[in-house]
């Protein structure tokens, strides 16, 4: 039987090994405990982080910006007793009403380019409809683009950017918008003969109340735009209630109404709210004011060109339009405003105002016979002053809060950025900055920090002319860049409007302050209608010289950081 060898382990070694095992187990337990503690702490930190960051994403407000085309402040909320705007008035009751807000240029494309980029027309070098700023001057970030780059889903309905070359025939998609912009299919008929006259013949009329059943597709562009905007808002509500990844993404919606831009085409029933006799004594003006420089006059060529006016023998360039036609234009303008007010009410009913910032504005004003002028195309108060109303869940009010400080449409970009809690928009300091703005944020005013000082701010606007006299060819209301020879700069202060028309060189976008074609000074304490030009009166020389220096300084200050020549 063979012997089995056994290994004998010394007792001392066994004891030592057991000690090492015990120590290893103990150390392992300690490490395990340490790992568990660290994991627990890590979990707590992640939870804490989620608790602070997730709600910030989830609670960012939606933003809705509503632009009305050619809307001056003919609203009840602005004290207009002829207006019929119950929905805008109710909206204003819960919001902040800026009573002295001004456009940078009284023409659609330049005004919208300025509003949406936060840059002045002189910075963009865009005074007409025929250039795209990204390829013409600089690849500047837009208001919706800024929101898109900071996590918002952005969408455009209707006329937001001006269509055509000035927005690259794409409404600046895809840079500004998360999806292609919605344009109403009936938009193509806006200047078509769709207005039936008394004999039923279809005309291209200025005044065009209609029955919807007679119109292309039995609807109108603004009705289509509001329907689409409501569909979009509802779709975002649906995604928020689902488990999709888009549930925490807020939206930025821009809705652009076409009205009250001409032609005045609206459902016929809105005309019944406005008896014609109320509009005969709207203004006593029937002739050009004697001291208005000829270069300041706009001959309202687009009004004259409509079928219901072109055979009226309105003498060019000063008219006048007959009292009957003047009253009819005003009546139709107010009816157009009532029509889009009704649509605005439908939009508002679909919004959650507890989670949505809503901003309402006009892109510029419109003359209704003041100075015997019509339409826009000027540097007067009626062509530049616009409604601007902001309603934010952060700053709720139970009755309208009025702000009298001078405001510009340039201020919209930085204000909406602040209201959404996004990183503040930098102020432009040099021409190379892609993302910046030339306006000021109105957020401090909304906070009530005492920044409503009426004499602190000014508004700077401008309008180009091809020559010092009104002309049909080139069109002095809408000159193309190559024809611009004169630029009118207008400064609105708390008490005055001062306008200077100077030589402008379109080749290099420079001006000659010594080559003057017209000068205007109006004191709003005495003359809110800007009828009496005080420039010829020597007793106002000191005020005139002071405002001229202030105007030149404002223009040159805005230009000093933008050398594109």
Among 87, 96, 108, 371, the one annotated catalytic? 108
Cα–Cα nearest to 367, from 454, 298, 419: 298
Sequence-ordered list of residues with C-beta below 8 angstroms from that of 46, at least 6 positions apart, any chain:
none
Helix 323-349 with 221-241: angle, nearest 10 deg: 10
For the chain, the farthest-separated pair of C-alpha atoms sits apart, in whole angstroms, at 141
Percent helix, strand, coil in the chain, to 5, is 40, 20, 45
Q: Judging by DSSP bridges, how do beta strands 251-257 and 153-158 pair with one another?
A: parallel
Give the ranges where 95-180 is alpha helix by DSSP (H).
108-117, 121-124, 133-136, 143-149
3-class secondary structure, 446: helix
Q: Judging by DSSP bridges, how do beta strands 407-408 and 96-102 pair with one another?
A: parallel
3-class secondary structure, 324: helix
For residue 108, indicate whether it is catalytic: yes
Task: Write the CA distances from 221 to 157, 218, 302, 310, integer angstroms.
Answer: 10, 10, 20, 25
Answer whether 522's CB lies under 8 Å from 530's CB: yes
Cα–Cα nearest to 300, from 375, 246, 371, 248: 375
d(CA 69, CA 80): 18
User: How many CB atoms within 10 Å of residue 524?
Assistant: 16
Sequence-ordered list of residues with C-beta below 8 angstroms from that of 169, at least 6 positions apart, any chain:
163
User: How many CB atoms within 10 Å of residue 204?
Assistant: 16
For the chain, counts of helices (H) and of strands (E): 13, 18
Among 87, 96, 153, 162, the one annotated catalytic? 162
Return the structure tokens found at 161. 């950017």
Return the structure tokens found at 339. 């029509």
Task: Write the CA distances from 112 to 184, 343, 408, integer angstroms.
Answer: 19, 22, 12
Return the structure tokens found at 386. 């616009």
481, burial (CB in 10 Å: exposed 0-12, middle 13-18, buried 19+)? middle
For residue 428, indicate whether it is catalytic: no
d(CA 163, CA 180): 13
**Active-site residue numbers?**
108, 162
């Amino acid at each position: 039987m063979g012997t089995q060898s056994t290994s004998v382990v010394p007792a001392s070694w066994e004891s030592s090994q057991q000690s090492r095992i015990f120590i290893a187990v103990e150390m392992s337990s300690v490490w395990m405990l340490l790992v568990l503690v660290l994991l627990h702490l890590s979990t707590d930190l992640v939870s804490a982080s989620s608790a602070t960051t997730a709600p910030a994403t989830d609670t960012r407000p939606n933003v809705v910006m509503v632009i009305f085309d050619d809307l001056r402040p003919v609203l009840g909320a602005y004290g207009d007793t002829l207006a019929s705007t119950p929905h805008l008035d109710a909206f204003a009751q819960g919001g902040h009403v800026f009573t002295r807000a001004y456009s940078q240029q009284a023409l659609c494309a330049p005004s919208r380019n300025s509003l949406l980029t936060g840059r002045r027309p002189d910075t963009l070098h865009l005074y007409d409809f025929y250039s795209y700023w990204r390829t013409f001057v600089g690849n500047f970030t837009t208001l919706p683009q800024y929101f898109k780059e900071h996590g918002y889903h952005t969408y455009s309905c209707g006329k937001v950017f001006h269509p055509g070359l000035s927005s690259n025939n794409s409404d600046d998609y895809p840079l500004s918008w998360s999806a292609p912009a919605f344009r109403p299919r009936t938009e193509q008929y806006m200047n078509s003969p769709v207005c039936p006259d008394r004999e039923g013949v279809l005309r291209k009329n200025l005044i065009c109340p209609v029955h919807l059943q007679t119109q292309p597709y039995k609807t109108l562009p603004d009705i289509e735009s509001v329907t689409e905007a409501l569909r979009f808002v509802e779709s975002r509500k649906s995604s928020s209630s689902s488990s999709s990844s888009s549930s925490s993404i807020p939206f930025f919606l821009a809705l652009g109404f076409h009205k009250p831009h001409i032609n005045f085409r609206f459902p016929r029933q809105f005309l019944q709210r406005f008896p014609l006799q109320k509009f005969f004594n709207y203004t006593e003006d029937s002739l050009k004011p004697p001291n208005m420089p000829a270069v300041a006059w706009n001959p309202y060529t687009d009004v004259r060109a409509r079928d219901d006016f072109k055979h009226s023998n309105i003498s060019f360039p000063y008219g006048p339009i007959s009292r009957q036609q003047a009253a009819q234009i005003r009546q139709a303008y107010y009816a157009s405003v009532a029509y889009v007010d009704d649509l605005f009410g439908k939009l508002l009913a679909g919004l959650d105002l507890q989670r949505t910032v809503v901003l309402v504005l006009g892109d510029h004003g419109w003359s209704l016979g003041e100075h015997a002028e019509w339409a826009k195309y000027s540097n007067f108060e009626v062509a530049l002053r616009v409604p601007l109303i902001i309603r934010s869940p952060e700053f709720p009010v139970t009755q309208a809060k009025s702000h009298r400080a001078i405001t510009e449409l340039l201020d919209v970009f930085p204000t909406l950025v602040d209201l959404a809690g996004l990183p503040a928009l930098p102020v432009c300091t040099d021409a190379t900055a892609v993302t910046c703005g030339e306006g000021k944020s109105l957020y401090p005013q909304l906070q009530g920090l005492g920044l409503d000082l009426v004499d602190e701010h000014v508004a700077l606007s401008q309008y180009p002319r091809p020559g010092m006299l009104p002309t049909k060819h080139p069109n002095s209301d809408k000159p193309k860049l190559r024809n611009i020879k004169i630029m009118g700069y207008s400064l609105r202060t708390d008490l005055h409007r001062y306008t200077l028309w100077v030589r402008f060189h379109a080749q290099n976008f420079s001006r000659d302050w010594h080559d003057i074609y017209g000068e205007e000074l109006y004191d709003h304490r005495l003359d809110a209608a800007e009828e009496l030009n005080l420039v010829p009166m020597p007793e106002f020389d000191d005020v005139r010289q002071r405002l001229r220096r202030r105007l030149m300084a404002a223009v040159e200050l805005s230009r000093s950081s933008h050398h594109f020549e």
